[in-house]
Amino acid sequence: MHSYGDWTYIMRLFGKQRRAAKILLFLIDCVVGAAYAGFVVSFPALVVHLIQQPILPGLSTVLVILAIALVGYGLNILDTHLQDGLTQFTFDFRFDYIPVFSGLIFNWRQADIDSVQGKAVIDQAYEAIYNGGNDGIGAVVDNTLQAVRTSIQVITVALVLGYFNPWLILIVAAINLVEYALQRIANAWFAKHKQEENQIASYQSYFTRMLMKRSSGKDIRLFNLFPLLHQHFTVLADGIVAWQQRYTRVTTLVGGLQVAVNALGILGTLLFLIQSQTVSIENIIVFITAMQVLNARFTTIRQALSEVGRNLSYAANFRSFLGYAQPLEPTPNLPAIDQIQSVRLQDVSFAVGSATLLYHVSLALAAGQSLAIVGENGAGKTTLIKLICGLYPPTAGNITINGQPRTAWSTASLRDRIAVEFQDDILLHFTIAENIALVVPEKIDYDRVDRMLQEVGMLDFVQHLSHGVRTMIGNELDPDGISLSGGQKEELLFARVLYKDADLNILDEPTAALDPLAEKQFYALASAKLKDKMVIFISHRLGSLTVQSQIMVMKDGRIIGLGSHAELLASCAYYRQLWEAQKTLYAAGDQNEEN
Ligand SMILES: Nc1ncnc2c1ncn2[C@@H]1O[C@H](COP(=O)(O)OP(=O)(O)OP(=O)(O)O)[C@@H](O)[C@H]1O
């Protein structure tokens, strides 16, 4: 259920930026809107009065009426412009919150981002912000302003009307209060059942994204995924439609009752007028116009309030998003690390829910040392490096950096000193240089970008592109953007690692897409370029790692061997088995080629 707290929270949020301009514009709009409402009510009566009892000669009376009409018309135009200005503020408000929104998510713990609950909370907060003035927190703001502005107009009209007959105000107010009470029934239903819709909508948005994403097109076609995706999508879409139909039944019933109350009310008012004492023609005209204006304004207020109520469900979602996850660094002002000189894991274990993924892992690494990690699929290699990078905190044991607990250093400074190449790293649809430097174009050191491209063997290829390092990758933002092969992508990601010049370099399957020659060159280059740093390599191709002085063997989340290639062959049966299996494969390949 929505609350007053959600509403004040959203209005304070809206007022945070450019407050003075917003308040001034709103106040002017209220005054102009009230003046226009007063004009609408009094103008017809004024015309009748001027015609019946002219103060000026014929033509002048017509000119005066025209001049007053023009003033009213001007007020109307001004009011519309002022309202547009305020709507623009609400529109901008969304964009003000995009950086806040993403900034918060990226300061969450990785486990919160990965969880089903976290994903649903993000989806709902996204829905609350991005709908603009139609739905969500933008609609709360727009409709609140609308309700206040219209209330001031109602007061103005009521003052004019009250001057003639105060009872009429009470009748109109009573009709509209009953209609508002009915509207609240529909709102209460919406608030009560929004949670059910949230869940279905969150699942459905995954399938919508899958079906709409260009990059899914290839798989959808080649594996004929459409029936599968479509079936899931249809089940969820049916769920949403069924929910919507239930909601429509409620709103239709409430709408019908409101019309009945309104009709009876107007009928009653007419009877009241007929029963009342004789009044002048001007007074009757003022009554009738004021009735119409008040009815219309009360309807606006009622609808605006009902929209505020309905959309406060989104506000509640947005607030639970803000409070959902603990930020990564709850203690501000942690010391920044200048250089990572050593990393140590002591008896580290890690579990997600009831599944333990790592058991009692200990290792130590210092500047100038490298470590190769091997093991079958699902052994826990990537999970281990995610812990080392700080994406997940260990559930038991300690990680220390330069002899201090990892959590004693500021997260941002640690991130600055670590470079990682993951298997699923993304290339942005920006220029090649931006993808390597990962900073805004003005801050890119282009000579350094060229040197890194030269190191990884891509400079020649890049220089022959139409825009060199300024060529876009992918064609999301530029029709001339290029696509890279799997191997080129890996080379570029390695150039990104080298450009960063970090102390701890982690390369997860960096050569999976490279041909054997390129793979050999990669390891020679990496060993030379990163020889003073800390490096962790993960690879399934044991042949490329035999020269590494420390190889760590993992199986089922545990370390089962540590040593050089020769030591492991002698001491670790599992490593021997992996090595023999690969040797046999290569030998079989060689034989096939010879045949
Ligand atoms: N967030 C998570 N929640 C639950 N299980 C997870 C999570 N991340 C990884 N796992 C599981 O942990 C195990 C280890 O995964 P990990 O990616 O670390 O393996 P890996 O050794 O890197 O495998 P590969 O060589 O295939 O890349 C797998 O069984 C995986 O399903």
pLDDT in tens, 182-224: 888 888 888 888 888 877 877 777 777 777 777 777 777 777 8
For residue 120, give the CATH number of its domain: 1.20.1560.10
Which residue is associated with the tokens 């001004």? 78
Mean pLDDT of 251-272: 83
- Strands (E) across 403-539 are located at 404-405, 418-421, 504-508, 534-538
Same-domain pairing of 151 and 270: yes
pLDDT at 585 over 60: yes
For the CA of 376, the nearest atom of ligand 1: 25
**Per-residue pLDDT tens over the stretch 308-341:** 988 888 888 888 888 787 766 666 788 999 999 9
- Assigned domain for 471 exists: no
CB 435 within 8 A of CB 492: yes
Q: How far is Cα of residue 311 from the mean position of the Cα atoms in its chain?
A: 18
**Per-residue pLDDT tens over the stretch 522-559:** 888 888 889 999 999 998 888 888 888 899 999 999 99
Ligand 1 centre distance from Cα of residue 513 (Å): 20
Amino acid letter for position 528:
A
- Assigned domain for 134 exists: yes
Ligand 1 centre distance from Cα of residue 378 (Å): 5
Alpha helices by DSSP H, listed for 165-225, are: 166-212, 217-222
Ligand 1 centre distance from Cα of residue 357 (Å): 7
For 289, other C-beta atoms within 10 Å of its C-beta total 19
Domain of 373 in residue numbering reads as 342-425+504-515+532-594
Same-domain pairing of 56 and 149: yes
- Assigned domain for 413 exists: yes
Q: Which long-range contacts (CB under 8 A, 24 or more apart) does 23-30 make?
A: 25/82, 25/85, 25/86, 25/89, 26/86, 26/145, 26/148, 26/149, 28/82, 29/79, 29/82, 29/83, 29/85, 29/86, 29/149, 30/148, 30/149, 30/152
For 447, other C-beta atoms within 10 Å of its C-beta total 8
φ, ψ of residue 393 to 5 degrees: the values are -85, 145
Pick the more confident residue, 207 or 158. Answer: 158
Mean pLDDT of 227-232: 81
For 595, other C-beta atoms within 10 Å of its C-beta total 5
Of 77-86, 352-361, 445-454, 468-477, the poorest mean pLDDT is in 468-477
For the CA of 509, the nearest atom of ligand 1: 27
pLDDT at 590 over 60: no
Mean pLDDT of 421-436: 86
The secondary element (H helix, E strand) that includes residue 355 is: strand 355-366
Q: Is 386 in the pocket of ligand 1 (CB under 6 A)?
A: no
pLDDT score of 270: 67
Amino acid letter for position 7:
W
Same-domain pairing of 122 and 244: yes
Substitution candidate for ligand 1 out of 110, 116, 381 with most atoms within 8 A of CB: 381
pLDDT score of 279: 59
For residue 412, give the CATH number of its domain: 3.40.50.300
pLDDT at 464 over 50: yes
Same-domain pairing of 282 and 346: no
Ligand 1 centre distance from Cα of residue 380 (Å): 5
Same-domain pairing of 305 and 347: no
Asked which of 297, 324, 351 is the last residue of a domain, the reply is 324
C-alpha distance from residue 150 to each of 31, 188, 538 (Å): 11, 24, 66
- Assigned domain for 461 exists: no
pLDDT at 485 over 80: yes
Q: What gap in Å lies between CA 314 and CA 318, rounded to an integer?
A: 6
Same-domain pairing of 272 and 374: no
pLDDT score of 245: 92
Of 105-109, 157-161, 371-375, 477-481, the poorest mean pLDDT is in 477-481
- Provide the terminal-to-terminal Cα distance of the chain, rounded to the nearest Å: 75
Token pair, residue 97, equals 């919150």
Same-domain pairing of 310 and 370: no
Q: Which residue has its alpha carbon closest to ligand 1 atom 17?
A: 382
pLDDT at 227 over 90: no
CB 537 within 8 A of CB 550: no
Asked which of 261, 290, 324 is the last residue of a domain, the reply is 324
Q: Which residue has its alpha carbon closest to ligand 1 atom 28?
A: 378
- Average pLDDT for the chain: 85
Pick the more confident residue, 316 or 374. Answer: 374
- Assigned domain for 78 exists: yes
pLDDT score of 236: 83
pLDDT score of 55: 72
Q: Is 378 in the pocket of ligand 1 (CB under 6 A)?
A: yes
Of 213-222, 384-393, 506-515, 571-580, the poorest mean pLDDT is in 213-222
pLDDT score of 412: 86
For 131, other C-beta atoms within 10 Å of its C-beta total 16
- Assigned domain for 431 exists: no
pLDDT at 34 over 80: yes
Same-domain pairing of 418 and 301: no
Instruction: Give the chain's domain count.
Output: 2
- Assigned domain for 222 exists: yes
Same-domain pairing of 312 and 230: yes
Ligand 1 centre distance from Cα of residue 377 (Å): 8
- Per-residue pLDDT band for 594 (boundaries 50, 70, 90) equals very low
Q: What gap in Å lies between CA 184 and CA 91, rounded to an integer?
A: 27
Same-domain pairing of 296 and 408: no
Q: Is 108 helix (H, G, I), strand (E, B) or coil?
A: strand
Pick the more confident residue, 282 or 571. Answer: 571
Same-domain pairing of 234 and 319: yes
Q: What gap in Å lies between CA 580 and CA 575, rounded to an integer?
A: 8
Same-domain pairing of 189 and 234: yes
- Assigned domain for 150 exists: yes
**Per-residue pLDDT tens over the stretch 262-291:** 788 777 776 776 676 655 677 777 777 887
Task: Check residue 426 and report its DSSP letter.
Answer: -
- Per-residue pLDDT band for 364 (boundaries 50, 70, 90) equals very high
Asked which of 289, 324, 359 is the last residue of a domain, the reply is 324
Q: Which residue has its alpha carbon closest to ligand 1 atom 13?
A: 378
Q: Is 309 in the pocket of ligand 1 (CB under 6 A)?
A: no
Q: Is 355 in the pocket of ligand 1 (CB under 6 A)?
A: yes
Q: Is 383 in the pocket of ligand 1 (CB under 6 A)?
A: yes
Closest CA to 168 of 302, 293, 28, 272: 272
Ligand 1 centre distance from Cα of residue 381 (Å): 8
